[in-house]
Amino acid sequence: MSEAENCTHDCETCSAACDQREKAPADFMEKPSQFSSIKKVFAVVSGKGGVGKSLVTSLLAIALNKKGYHTGILDADITGPSIPKIFGLKEKAQGSAMGVMPVVTKRGIEVISVNLLLENETDPVVWRGPIIAGTVKQFWTDVVWNDIDYMLVDLPPGTGDVPLTVFQSIPVNGILIVASPQELVSLIVSKAVKMANMMNVPIIGLVENMSYFKCPHCGKETKIFGESHIREIADEFSLPVLARIPISPELSEACDLGTLEDISAPFMDGAASALEKIPEKEKD
């Protein structure tokens, strides 16, 4: 079946790359709040769940923050938000005459997430796709982001409504694809790459999570999930590998305790440097 035959005639939710779509993305771009200032936006994506996308988003925000940049995280994983937990955020987001104010971590990273709006963080979000997509848009348009150098969007896994909404509504400078060492990941990464290409979104590179375990006593690296295939995948799509994150009890414990900002993660420096090289988009 051709792309045209797949067309639903609603470009906001349709993924078909037909002629009509060539004119569509610019029409759906949303402007942030008039009180916001955001220089660069990067989305963190994965083709499947469980690969550590939120961990990568958080570590990258921390790495950029330590470089002196003002960073923000838009948690677009509406039904599975984990960013507030990782940073130990208990305070609720507050509204004002200007809009919704993000919650700020102890080291100054601005965060908005549905869990910062719910009465109880364990309350499930049982919403249909259009409502979820609309909420993500509001996180961009109604939240007052204060002089953000780098905005990181933590997307839900897969290639559904929310990634489509983000790519069509928010001026994304590029995406980072999170993968794990298993060979199956080649198929998953391929889907994410093809979606980015369909939406004309630049791919900055790959980040491999759970790459290896480093013995704290002898320093030997053990590949728990077998030999990595990340280099083969990177070569296949001509993409750089920006970071390889180890399996670390220290990282896991810090996420559970909400103290990730206190952890040293030099393995993220390459990814942070890659984002520094990407120019800002021209403003309309």
CATH no. for 31-276: 3.40.50.300
| pLDDT band with cut points at 50, 70 and 90 for residue 108 | very high
Token reading at 269 = 């420096």
Rounded distance, CA 94 to CA 103, Å? 8
Query: CB–CB of 16/4 below 8 Å?
Result: yes
pLDDT digits (tens, 9 = 90+) for 220-240: 888 888 788 888 889 989 999
DSSP β-ladder status, 110-112 and 71-75: parallel
Sequence-ordered alpha helix ranges (H) in 199-247: 230-237
How far apart, in whole angstroms, are the C-alpha atoms of residue 113 and residue 84?
7
d(C-alpha 181, C-alpha 225), whole Å: 6
Q: Which residue is associated with the tokens 């990595």? A: 228
pLDDT tens track for 178-193: 988 875 677 888 888 9
Q: What's the confidence (pLDDT) of residue 49?
A: 80
- What pLDDT digit, counting tens, does each position of 31-75 carry? 999 999 999 999 999 877 888 999 999 999 999 999 999 999 999
What pLDDT, on a 0 to 100 scale, did the predictor assign at position 1?
A: 52
Look at residue 23 in the predicted model and tell me its pLDDT: 45
Task: Name residues whose C-beta falls within 8 Å of residue 218's C-beta, 6 or more positions apart in sequence.
Answer: none
Q: CA 223 to CA 212: how far, in whole Å?
A: 4
Is the pLDDT confidence value at 270 over 70?
yes
The whole-angstrom separation of Cα 161 and Cα 13 is 6
Give tens-digit pLDDT for 240-265: 999 999 999 999 999 999 999 999 99
pLDDT at residue 24 greater than cutoff 80: no
Residues in the chain: 284
Q: Helices (H) and strands (E) in the chain — how many of each?
A: 10, 12
Phi-psi category of residue 205: left, alpha or beta, with phi > 0 → left and psi -120 to 50 → alpha: left
Tokens of 199: 């939406």
Sign of the torsion angle spanned by Cα atoms 237, 76, 84, 40: positive
Work out the angle between the directed axes of helices 53-66 and 249-257 (0-180°, nearest 10).
Answer: 90
* Distance between CA atoms of residues 94 and 251, nearest Å: 30
- Which ranges in the chain belong to alpha helices (H)? 3-6, 24-28, 53-66, 83-87, 129-141, 161-169, 185-198, 230-237, 249-257, 269-276
Q: Which of 39, 64, 26, 118 is nearest to 265 (CA)?
A: 64
Q: Cα(247)–Cα(224) distance, rounded to whole angstroms?
A: 9
Mean per-residue pLDDT of the chain: 88
pLDDT band for 25, please (50, 70, 90 cuts).
very low
CB 195 within 8 A of CB 163: yes
Q: What is the pLDDT of residue 4?
A: 56
Distance CA 181, CA 230 (A): 6
Annotated domain spans of the chain: 31-276
